[in-house]
Structure 1
Amino acid sequence: MIDRDLVLSATAALIAAPSENPPDDTRAAAEAATRFLAAIPGAAVTQHTRHEPVRNVVAVLRGARPGRRVVLSGHLDTFPAGDPARWSVPPFAATIRGDRLYGRGAADMKGGIAAAIAVMAAAAERADFAGELVLALAGDEESMGTAGTQFLLDTVPAVRGDVAIVPDAGSPAVIRFGEKGMVWLDLAAEGKAAHGAHVHRGENAAERLIEAVRRVLALRDRAVDVPQPIRDAVAAARPVSEKLGGAGEAETLTRITANLGTLAAGISPNLVPDSATAGLDLRLPPGTCTAELIDAARAALADLPGVTMRVRVAWEPTVTDPAHPLFAALRRAAAAALGAEPVLNLRVGASDARLFRLAGIPTAVFGPTPYGMGGPDEYVLIPELLAVAEALAAAVRDLLAG
């Protein structure tokens, strides 16, 4: 059984150690996690950093005999809390009201980390398991993971497991086996400044940019040959998943999407702007790749004078085969702890799970439902968080039964 007091106390201690990103200083949160992990008999705990103040933590618990290495992965950083006046509770005080636990990171994902700590503590009580249980806590998930999970995968051999589970914010009703890729593009247009009444003397950079943006947005109409097993899984999950992720989630998961996130041009209505910029976020499903999308964007813009494109971010779609035994273990455990078997689906947004998959490690995302994530009054439901912890512990026992 999970130590429920440990789950709640670890969540509270982590929330009380602010780790907002930006500025991405996870030293206090890393120390808080280290204190709990160091108290687990047999756990070897180390801290790692690519550059300060981004601090990462790895804990390794070895079983009685050889077997699988199961990695539980979490991120210590959170979104900024914003203006405390907009919160009804102190953002870093872990306030409990009824069955809700409030605080920045309660759902994303300090509650999930606390659950993983409790899973390791439970495993230590019965040291007869096979293999290793590893807890990898990264410092910069909110800024793509290069100084966090990717750094750990590159430098700490214990983080490269046979399977990985990420108890990140989502819903215990849906286990995520993959996620869309992403391409962030920066567009820039140059023109010639002039008085707004004398348009014949200028070249309007904003108008050039508008056409460039229109062409990039049109890429969302490109057909994608999503593998049939993935289409089938998304369709099967739809009745459950769209209740949580919103109507239209299934369609979003299986096509290219494009979001115009930033747009800037000019300083006055009566001046022809000589420069303009835009930033776009394109997400792509399995069945295509970033190179194809980037090439298509370049081709679409090739004949536009004065327009340039820069690729800021490019990450491939990632998938673990839904038939992998990892998901069967998680579904059995979740059904017992929650009273209903979760569905399997892709994830719309990015997570550190993609880095494990890109390293060839079968990976699942399974965590509590977030409320107020990224805004004021973030909270997690205590009964659900405890049930997630119980399900994780049961799945880990299954995977390490050896």
Structure 2
Amino acid sequence: MIDLVDADRLRDLTLELVSVESPTGDTAEVARLFARRLEQIGMDVEVLDEAFPATPIVIGRLRGGSAGPTVVLDGHLDTVPIPHAPPTVEGGVVYGRGTADMKGPLACAVETARVVKERGQFPGELVVLATGLHESPGGRGEDLAWLLREHGFEADAVVVCELGGDTFVAAHMGLATMEITVSRPGQATHELKTAAGSPHPITAAGRVIEAFAARSEELAKQQHPLVGSETYFLGEVHGGDFYNRFPTECRLVGTRRWAPGNDYAAVDAELRTLLAGVAEETGCAIELDLRLVRECYEIDPSHPLSTALRGAYEDVTGEELPVAGVKIVADAAFFHGDCGIPAVYHGPIGNGAHGDVESVPVAELVRATKVYLRTLERLWA
């Protein structure tokens, strides 16, 4: 089957998809374009837009002629809302926002389905799934979570078409964003007219920062073999409004990442206990807004889906796919962790995701498509 992969089709569809702007929360136009392209290759297509009208879910199905597994090629059509130069193709590379993350990979999924359709009979079902609420903080996978938990979507195996172009991603961290508000009662006053002993929100916020640093040192001693140590990170500190006014509030914004073996509930409980201690020590009120982005993820490299993908990569490239872990988060956590559907990652290797210049080589689109096809052949065998 891999000899049927068409590099020109991959290039052209990637360019067409990235030519439609689709920041997180506004993907309806590109979703309907994607649905039309799935229909044109002979897939049965659903566009689910009742729950998320601005970000429809697109599901394309290709049914085989006999019983077998339902295998999903999954991706997201939304992009980060960062301006980019107009899409173009130069020297066998497609440039534009979303080429690597991840409209190029979804073009690979479409080309995979086209080749499977042309091949003819196969056991089971091939599904191409595209969502639009992936990139945080604008989206946290709400549409995918709804599809799996409420709509009743089912499958036997999933390949999430990103990450791991030259490694087998066997684990990634969980991630939550945190916003911490440290406050005291009353109004802001001149520093010399504030009652002695008044709780100072900026000083209390400093205690929170110190507590995070101490906890981070402890976490650094506990290394997960694939993803390393868990982290607390603060990227924003906001407090006060004038140099000699005693403030009423200070706000900290950051992230908390955790390794497989831990989970969001435990992270939440730990963080609230830590903040309660600082509040008692300083006399300030401390409120926490902790929001889950994705849970952590881990799969056995010897799982049948893992070995099918790793074997397919070796079939296509002649090289082994080494096992690795990453700290970033993605959507296999929803399938594998939440719903018990085995899921792995693999995609074309692009450049500049979330950066000023984003691109993907056409040769990588071809390679990834061939890996998907060989993975399907191994699963069907």
Q: TM-score with structure 2 length normalisation?
A: 0.89
How far 1:198 sits from its partner (Å)? 5.2
Which residue pairs with 1:119 in the alignment?
A: 112
Which residue pairs with 1:98 in the alignment?
A: 91
Three-state SS of the structure 2 residue aligned to 1:148 is helix
Contact 1:224 1:255 in 2 (8 A): yes
Bigger mean CA offset, 382-391 vs 181-190 = 181-190
How far 1:225 sits from its partner (Å)? 10
Contact 1:145 1:352 in 2 (8 A): no
How far 1:163 sits from its partner (Å)? 0.9
Instruction: Indicate the RMSD between aligned Cα atoms, in angstroms.
Output: 2.2
| Cα 1:224/1:197, change in 2 over 3 Å | closer
Which residue pairs with 1:349 in the alignment?
A: 328
Which residue pairs with 2:154 in the alignment?
A: 160
Gaps of 5+ in 2: none
Which residue pairs with 1:328 in the alignment?
A: 307
| Cα 1:166/1:140, change in 2 over 3 Å | same
How far 1:199 sits from its partner (Å)? 6.1
Which residue pairs with 2:354 in the alignment?
A: 374
1:189-338 to 2 correspondences below 5 Å: 189-191=182-184, 193-197=188-192, 201=196, 202-223=198-219, 231=225, 234=226, 253-303=227-277, 304=279, 305-314=283-292, 315-338=294-317
How far 1:302 sits from its partner (Å)? 2.0
Correspondence 1:29 to 2:26: no
Correspondence 1:148 to 2:122: no
Which residue pairs with 1:9 in the alignment?
A: 12
Partner Cα separation in structure 2 for residue 77 and residue 132 of structure 1: 26
What per-residue deviation string (whole Å, max 9, x for no partner) do you get for residues 352-379 of structure 1? 1111112111111111223121122210
Residue correspondences, number: 366
Which residue pairs with 1:249 in the alignment?
A: none
Partner Cα separation in structure 2 for residue 214 and residue 341 of structure 1: 44
What per-residue deviation string (whole Å, max 9, x for no partner) do you get for residues 34-83 of structure 1? 12110123x2101012122111100111111111111110001001132x
Three-state SS of the structure 2 residue aligned to 1:165 is strand
Which residue pairs with 1:51 in the alignment?
A: 52
How far 1:194 sits from its partner (Å)? 2.9
Contact 1:75 1:141 in 2 (8 A): yes
Three-state SS of the structure 2 residue aligned to 1:142 is coil
How far 1:145 sits from its partner (Å)? 4.3
Bigger mean CA offset, 217-226 vs 279-288 = 217-226
Partner Cα separation in structure 1 for residue 107 and residue 151 of structure 2: 22
Partner Cα separation in structure 1 for residue 147 and residue 180 of structure 2: 33
Bigger mean CA offset, 308-317 vs 5-14 = 308-317
Which residue pairs with 2:369 in the alignment?
A: 389
Correspondence 1:20 to 2:23: yes
Q: Equivalent pairs: percent with the same residue?
A: 27
Contact 1:74 1:113 in 2 (8 A): yes
Gaps of 5+ in 1: 235-252
Partner Cα separation in structure 1 for residue 249 and residue 16 of structure 2: 49
Contact 2:27 2:54 in 1 (8 A): yes
Partner Cα separation in structure 2 for residue 388 and residue 336 of structure 1: 12
What per-residue deviation string (whole Å, max 9, x for no partner) do you get for residues 108-153 of structure 1? 0000000000001111112321111111101111144444221222
Partner Cα separation in structure 2 for residue 316 and residue 139 of structure 1: 19
Bigger mean CA offset, 329-338 vs 96-105 = 329-338
Q: TM-score with structure 1 length normalisation?
A: 0.85
Partner Cα separation in structure 1 for residue 269 and residue 140 of structure 2: 26
Three-state SS of the structure 1 residue aligned to 2:353 is coil
Partner Cα separation in structure 2 for residue 224 and residue 127 of structure 1: 53
